Structure formats: structure tokens, C-alpha cells
Chains A and B, each alone.
Chain A
Amino acid sequence: MISATGVMKALLVSLTLAVSAYAVAKINLFGFEAASDRLADQVYQRITAADYGADRRGQRAVRVVYLDETSIEAMKGYGWRRFPPTYDQQWTMLDDLMSVGGAPPSAMYVDFVYMGQGGTSDGFPAFLDGLAAATRARAWADKPGCLADPLIKIACVIAAGGTPIILAKPSPGDLDLFTDVQRSLDTVAILAPAMVRLEAYPLITDYGFDAAKAARLGVHRFDISPAMGLYAAWCLRRGDHCGEPVFARLASQAREALAGRPSRPPDLSTVFDAPLDVVWGSRPDPDYLAVTKAVTGAPAPCRGLASGWRDRLMEQMAGLRGPGVGKRQECPYAYSLGYDRLVVGQGLGKDDLANLLAGKMILVGGHFRASNDWVESPVHGQAPGVQYHAMALDNLIEDGDEYRRNANAFLDSDLLKSAMIFALAFCGALGVMARNSLLDRATAEGVEPRLRSTVYGPLYLLLFSASIGTVFMATWLGVAYLHRSPINWIGLCGVAVAFLFYATRQTLPADIAGSVERFRFARQIVRLRRRVVSLLRFEEERLLGPRASKSAGRRGAEPASEGSDHGQD
């Protein structure tokens, strides 16, 4: 049916297309390729956001308490006269979060970067003492085994019966500075670099510093991200250690270290080996919706119930592209509450506070519009940085070590795309050849006019659908089973469809016309199309001369002949 020459031709065409695609991707002219990759991921996330976290495992554990401009205004009624507030006031805030739920949280992360003291009477000693008491620093601060790395420090805090408190610091990779205040805080709490403007969310960062530089910058072997620290605390508290033997080993080594015996902390970077590609969910937390209703008397002003991927696909294909706004504005994925609302207490009962704080993973951070700590979320639009950490933590709780890796961190994703284009083009070219070969045979046997509209025309439809379906399937398989960020499915679909249109350009219009010509309306459309094509045809007449004009004139005069022209591609 298809000759060897035909197969070789298909190979050559596919290879040319794939190599061209690879070159275009690598050149990345005007950043178009990178933007296209990002767009494909964003649209994929927007479509599938409602399917994330169906069991709400992460959502039940993660809470965000925030400060914003209005919080600071309201907190004037409680002695806050400036921002940042004094260390004394900050400790009051943390102490509130530690105590008013009736039981302390599992762990806490404070997304404010601590650099230095605000003044001599700032209450820094009170802050330090409060932290030391919360983390039970007296039990572990003098044990070298507990200070080997940040993860075993967290394990020691938990083994000592304390609450791990993680404080933000600038990344030592960005800022070659470790202040006295940070050094003091490092003795009673865990410091983690608060990342900004990163493509992927790192979990464990080994800077490769020598021992002297690491000591100068307060790096204990490696640094962990806030979400990694909180996730470690969460797993260390669970009986099954999240099903990860490394956390069980970490817990046992922490007990050894706490007892003053030598310990060998396990290497978690073998499990958490790549940055996390944060997946944003859109399922609103029922507790958030309930509390909003309780304190405001009105439903949350955001997209309440999750809608499925079909609705979202239609939205993305229609005029509602981009993150939802107005009535379609997504609710925060993590249960979020302003600290001032907590302090005022109106509409919040004891049960609400317990549900909000007791045994939860609390992230405290800013929602200040005037700050630059905002990230672009594909689902929620602009989101505060603390929500980014919360979502990363949620991803880890939901997916464990099968979290979504950033594809670019592993392999040349451009190569993968090119391979995909090669396969699609090769199969598409073979498909077109096979279809045309069948049509040739039918024409020779005289059955073509009968079958063309019902069999050979729809074969094209099958070919196009199969190509697009293959891209969708490959995207879904890659995300669901390989736990990688989606390939550029929009670009791949575009290339596949464009290639198929090109390959079938001579026969496709006739086949479409032939397939639908039994409908009167379709015949009218076909006539209209011919008229429009005829009207638009002007340049080729000038450029190609009388031959093109004659040919065009003949086609215009013999419309019936268009239905039977087909070519071998």
C-alpha cells in the first residue's frame, strides 16, 4: 500500500520538521518558546485545578495566617504602631498562634525575613526566649548531632516535645551575609531561605560551600525550603512517617542525637531529588467557606464549588482565558485568615480557633500589596508568596515523593518535544499516504464517488483527532504517571494540526466538501467559500500570469470538478 520510497519520504519529512522544531525551541526567539511552554502549563493547570486534592489531605493540615495593610491599621488598636512590629509584639503574635487553638500547631513557618534588630528596646530577648521555649531549645541546642543539618534539627525539636518554628532568611546563594540576629535565631529555631522569583520550588539546596564559608553563612550542610521543613515535621509526627523510610531513620537518629550519642542523619536528597513544580488547586476549603459565612453573614466572594475539568476546558476555549476574576475568582486553596481578624475574635468561636490552629501546619506571612512578595499563579492570579509556600507544602502532603518534578530539571524537554513532533509527523504522513492510496484504489475500481463522503473524508477527521488525542494522552500520562510538568501540548497540537493541513492541502477541501455536500446548507457554504476565494484571488494572477488566471478561471467555471481532485502527498 505504501512503498519503501514513501516511508523514506515520510521519515525525511518528519526528521526535517523535528530538527526545525528543535532549532526553533533552542533559539527561543524573543522568548517565545519559553512563554509558550509556560502558557501550556498554565492552561493545563487551569483546566485540571478542580481535580487536585480530592481527599483534601493537605488542605486539612495547612493554614495561613496573614498580615496585610488593613491588618496593620486594625492592629493599631492593640499597640502596633509600625511595621514590622517590635520583636515583643511579634512574639505575642506567635504565642497567640501557639496557644489559642487549645493545642500548639504541628509546626510553624514565619515568612518574614529576619535580618537585624529594629532598636535597642525592641524586645528581641523576649522573642528569642519565646522561640527557645516553643522549640525546647534547651534540650537540643548543645547537642552537635542535632545541629548537623536543618532536617535533623527539626527532628530533634519534635523528639524534645517542641514545635518546630522555621524562620525565613535570605538565600546564602544570593546574599553573602549572616547577621548576629540570624545567628542567635539559628540557635533556637530553624532558618530557611525564602525563595523569590524561582521557576521551580527547591526542596533541598546544597550550595557546595566549603566548611569555612558554610560556617560563616550559617549553613548546616544544606538548606531546606520552608515547605520541605514543614513537610518533614508533618511526616515525623505521623506514625507511618508518610511511608518514607528516610523519615523513620531521621526520627531514630534524632533520638540518638538528643541522647548525646553520635548520629548519622539520612540523606533525604536521594528521595527529594529535584525541585517541585507547584500545582495549584482550586477546591475551596469548606472550613474557609463556613468561617467566612459565619463572620460575614455572606458566602465567600469567590468561586465556591469546584467545577470539573470539562467546564474549565470550555472556559479556557471561550472568552474566559486566564485566571478567573470577579465571580470566577478562586478562593484561596489554603484556609487563610488575617491575624487581626483572629485578634478581634468577632464571629470566631473556640472550635473555630481549634480547627484553625491546633495541630496544624501554620504559615504566617504577608499579603501586603505594596511588597514584592507575590507570585504569578496560573489558577489564582497574583498570589502572595506565603500562599506559594502553602501550596508547595500541600503538594508534598498530597503526593509525597511522587510530587511533580519540573521537567526542565531532568531532561532536555525540547528534545522530548522534537521527538514527539517526529513521531506525530511520521505517523501523520504515513496515515495520509495510506488514505490516499486507498482512495486511488477506490477510484480505479469505480467505487470512489460513493465512498468518498462516507469513508475517505472522515478518515481525515480520524487522522486529525488521533494526532490531537495522542498529544493529550502523552501530556496526561507524563503528568499523572511520570510526575512531570506537562509538555507543551498547545504547541505540539498546533504543529501536528498545521503539518496535517499542509500534508492534505490538496485534497482536504474537496473531501470536506464531498462529505457534507448532501446537506443543502453545506452546499450554500461551499458556494460562498468559492466566491470568497475567487474574490480574494488577486496576487497570484499578477505574479503567475495568464496560466494562473486561466487555471483559476477554469476552476471557477467548473465547480463540480473540485469535488474530485485529490493528490498523492
Chain B
Amino acid sequence: MVKTSLAIAVAAALLTPAAALADGLGKVTQALRPTLRTFDAQGRPLGEIKAAALHLPAPIVAHGVGASIGIKAEGGVVYLRGLDVQTEGVNATCAPVQAAARPSGSAYATSNMGLGGAADCRPARR
């Protein structure tokens, strides 16, 4: 009994900051398509998920490659496109393209034109 209580306390102690951190990334409030494409953190396609299968609003627990939005679903974390969902509390800090430090090996592709890519955006810290 004591061991169980201790385990619960330890788990709670570990999960609380994680939950707080996850909450700090904002939440997904609405799906904008009936079915959504899902990816893993590295961007490998996982398939599709029906919007009805999501428990919304869902806290964003992580961001994947290319700032994909990770939420808990289907017993794990799936990553969605920001275009497919409505979010709340997601604040990005993006540098304009001409001022952005580009990833190494990437040319100043739009030094003259355009707003810049998602690579210029970094989710804001809270």
C-alpha cells in the first residue's frame, strides 16, 4: 500500500511539470478537416485520423520536425499539420527571412521575396 502510494506520488511529481509544460505549448481546439494526416515526430507519415477520434481541446505536448503539432491520441503522441487544426495559445517567434539565421547548408533562397519559411519560426518560451 505504501509502495503504491509512493509510486503514485513519484509519478505525480514527474508528470505535473510535464503537464504544465505541455499546457504551455497551447492546445488544439478544433479540427478543420474530417480526416487529418498524422506523422511521427520525425515527419514519417502514420496515416490518417478521423477528427471525431480526437478529444478536443487537446493540449499540445510537443512539436515535431517542421513545427508539427504533437497531441496525445490513439494511445500515443501523433503529430498534425497546423493547417488542419485550430489552435489556441500557440505563439511563434518568427524571424523575417532576411534577418533569419538559416540552417547551415541552406542558401538565402528568398533574400528578395517572401515572408520566409517555417524554419524561421521558433515556438515562444513561456
Contact = CB atoms under 8 A, between A and B. Distances in A.
Sorting the interface of chain A by its residue count into under 10, 10 to 19, 20 to 34 or 35 or more gives: 35 or more
Nearest to A368: B109
Most buried by B among A336, A367, A368, A380: A367
Contacts of A70: 102-103, 106, 109-110, 116-120
B5 interface: no
Q: Which of B65, B108, B113 has the most CB of A within 10 A?
A: B113
Interface stretch (A154-162, A339-347, A547-555): A339-347
B49 interface: no
Contacts of B39: 77-79
Interface in B77-109: 79, 81-83, 85-87, 90, 92-99, 102-103, 106-109
Nearest to B67: A344
Given A70-B119, A329-B98, A343 B81 contact: yes
B115 A344 contact: no
B115 A336 contact: yes
B43 interface: yes
Given A340-B66, A344-B121, A381 B98 contact: no
B45 interface: yes
Contacts of A336: 113-115
Which size bracket describes the interface of B in this complex?
35 or more
B32 interface: yes
Given A78-B66, A296-B95, A345-B87, A338 B103 contact: no
B96 to A, nearest CB: 4
A402 interface: no
Interface in A333-359: 336-338, 340-347, 350
Given A76-B65, A343-B81, A346-B82, A66 B118 contact: no
Contact of B118 (A80, A340, A368): A340
Interface in A380-403: 380-384, 387
Contacts of A345: 81-83, 85, 87
Contact of B66 (A74, A81, A337): A74
A560 B98 CA distance: 62
A430 B52 CA distance: 88
Given A79-B45, A343-B82, A295 B115 contact: yes
B3 interface: no
A73 interface: yes
A77 B64 contact: yes
A318 interface: no
Given A66-B110, A342-B83, A344-B67, A295 B117 contact: no
B92 A380 contact: no
A229 to B, nearest CB: 22
A369 B108 contact: yes
A80 B42 CA distance: 11
A296 B103 contact: no
B107 A338 contact: no
A59 B48 CA distance: 37
B110 A302 contact: no
A73 B67 CA distance: 11
B126 interface: no
A380 B113 CA distance: 9
B125 interface: no
Interface in A389-421: none
B112 A381 contact: yes
25 contacts: A68-B109, A68-B114, A69-B107, A70-B106, A70-B120, A73-B66, A74-B118, A77-B42, A79-B45, A292-B96, A292-B115, A296-B93, A296-B95, A298-B95, A332-B112, A332-B113, A337-B114, A337-B115, A338-B114, A338-B117, A340-B118, A340-B119, A369-B109, A383-B113, A384-B112
Given A73-B103, A298-B99, A332-B113, 11 more contacts: A70-B103, A71-B119, A76-B65, A81-B43, A338-B114, A345-B81, A346-B67, A369-B108, A381-B112, A383-B113, A384-B112
The 4 lowest CB-CB distance pairs between A and B, nearest first, are A77-B66, A345-B82, A68-B109, A77-B65
Interface of B: 32, 37, 39, 42-45, 64-68, 79, 81-83, 85-87, 90, 92-99, 102-103, 106-121, 123
Interface of A: 64, 66, 68-71, 73-81, 92, 96, 100, 288, 291-292, 295-298, 300-302, 329-330, 332, 336-338, 340-347, 350, 367-370, 380-384, 387
